């Protein structure tokens, strides 16, 4: 168990550019979650997967955000045409199927849009 891995750790991009983040969950975990966290707030739900199926996407998210989990392993989160308001910490977490299974978080990707 090497834990949840996120890359890159930091990303600085100019407004209007596209960015893609990667998350490698714990290998036996079927469920994978993406959250966004800004200063003073708790993690805001973005989307989650069970295996390769995307079960829900936050209604707060614009169409500029998309996520995939091909083959039910790693996941990518893409933001197109970034805006300054997208600057945040993007957290990925995975968990097992049982109700008692906790989330295991990665270290996050800090996005700064200039």
Site residues, other proteins (CB under 8 A): 4, 31, 33, 35, 40-45, 48, 50, 55-56, 59-60, 91, 93, 99-108
Look-up of token digits 């209007």 = 16
Rg (CA), the chain: 13
35 or 65: whose CB is closer to other proteins? 35
50 or 73: whose CB is closer to other proteins? 50
29 or 82: whose CB is closer to other proteins? 29
Shortest CB 15 distance to other proteins, Å = 27
Among 27, 22, 20, CA closest to 3: 27
- The two beta strands, 53-57 and 19-24, are unpaired
Q: What tokens does 65 get?
A: 């955000």
Q: Are 18 and 81 in contact (CB under 8 A)?
A: yes
User: Using alpha carbons only, what angle is made at residue 97 by residues 96 and 98, rounded to the nearest 5 degrees?
Assistant: 100
Shortest CB 18 distance to other proteins, Å = 26
22 or 104: whose CB is closer to other proteins? 104
Shortest CB 77 distance to other proteins, Å = 17
């Amino acid at each position: 168990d090497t834990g949840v891995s996120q890359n890159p750790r930091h990303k600085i991009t100019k407004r209007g550019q596209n960015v893609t983040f990667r998350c490698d969950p714990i290998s036996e975990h079927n469920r994978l979650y993406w959250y966004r966290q800004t200063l003073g707030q708790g993690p805001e739900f973005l989307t989650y997967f069970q295996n390769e199926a995307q079960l829900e996407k936050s209604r707060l998210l614009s169409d500029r955000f998309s996520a995939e989990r091909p083959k039910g392993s790693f996941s990518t989160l893409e933001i197109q045409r970034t805006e300054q308001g997208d600057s945040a910490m993007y957290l990925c977490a995975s968990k097992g199927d049982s109700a008692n299974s906790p989330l295991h978080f990665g270290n996050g990707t800090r996005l700064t849009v200039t």
